Amino acid sequence: MKSLHLSWRMLPLCALLSLFVLSCQKTNNPSTPSSRQQTDALLMSATNTVVEAGNLEGQDVEDIAGPDSVPDCRVVTFDTSRTVYPHVKTIDFGTGCTGPDGITRSGKKIITYYANPDTAPIGTQFSLTTYDSFYVSGVNVTGTIKSYIDSSSTAGTPVFKNVAEKTLAASNGDSKTVNSTNYWKKIEGANTMIHSDDVFEITGSGYGNETLDGATEIEWTAQVDSAHHVIKPASCYWRTQGALDIQLHIITGGDANFTEYLDYGDGTCDDKATLSINGGTAQEVTLPLFFWPLSL
């Protein structure tokens, strides 16, 4: 299992690109070799942002809906008691805590529970998640997640609506924004107290942008494919099935639009996926991307 890399300027390995030339629809703005390298790097960074946003959300939702302790170095406390509502759950990663997923986190994640998600009425906002000097792999995460009991919930099959507004900031001043509304339906494990057997089906959408060197360089939107909902087991760090339709708008160096289709696979717990751009042939990739595998 790969660890999370919140990379900001990952240059493509141009020597390898010739090994992965695929037939893809061209953009309306033909690129020179130098601008194509810049486009490749921006597309790679933006694609990783979408993937990272999903991974971060997965960890947050599982901290909200999952167990109060995991086998790592975090410290979980409650004010006043976990059985009284409202109460506050603080997850303290200290100055650096590396989890079973290989990711190092520091600072605090603070979850205020207004109601018990197992018994709260439909439509209730049952929690609010905030961050206190919280870093993931050295990247500062700020913002909020508001979690609700969605109206599509049924007895034994809860659906959590999670509305997230986050900013990811690097030490050099570059930043990324992530805004999403996603629905996490627990399709397995709802009738047990064991978190590891939980499996979630995810639908919804998100959008955001990347600001590099003080200027917005790319904007993106992502929508779960309505025919292929994303599957996220609690026992796996990665999403294992389903697909995203991604729209990318590059602002720097001209005005270009791209569409991507990211398919998480057949249910295997790994960091593999397939990626196609502008309707081209799908290419197997390892997430996060370290070079751009598709020709433009």
Is 21 within the bounds of a domain? Answer: no
What residues contact 84, with CB distance under 8 A and at least 6 apart? none
Whole-number pLDDT of residue 295: 73
Whole-number pLDDT of residue 296: 65
Ranges under pLDDT 70 in the chain: 1-34, 253, 296
Q: Enumerate the β-bridge partners of residue 138.
A: none
Is 133 within the bounds of a domain? Answer: yes
Whole-number pLDDT of residue 16: 32
Domain tally, the chain: 1
Is 232 within the bounds of a domain? Answer: yes
Is 67 within the bounds of a domain? Answer: yes
Is 34 within the bounds of a domain? Answer: no
CA distances to 11, 60, 172 from 142, in Å:
27, 13, 16
Is 169 within the bounds of a domain? Answer: yes
Is 87 within the bounds of a domain? Answer: yes
Instruction: Quote the domain boundaries for residue 68.
Output: 41-286
Whole-number pLDDT of residue 192: 80
Whole-number pLDDT of residue 93: 96
Is 2 within the bounds of a domain? Answer: no
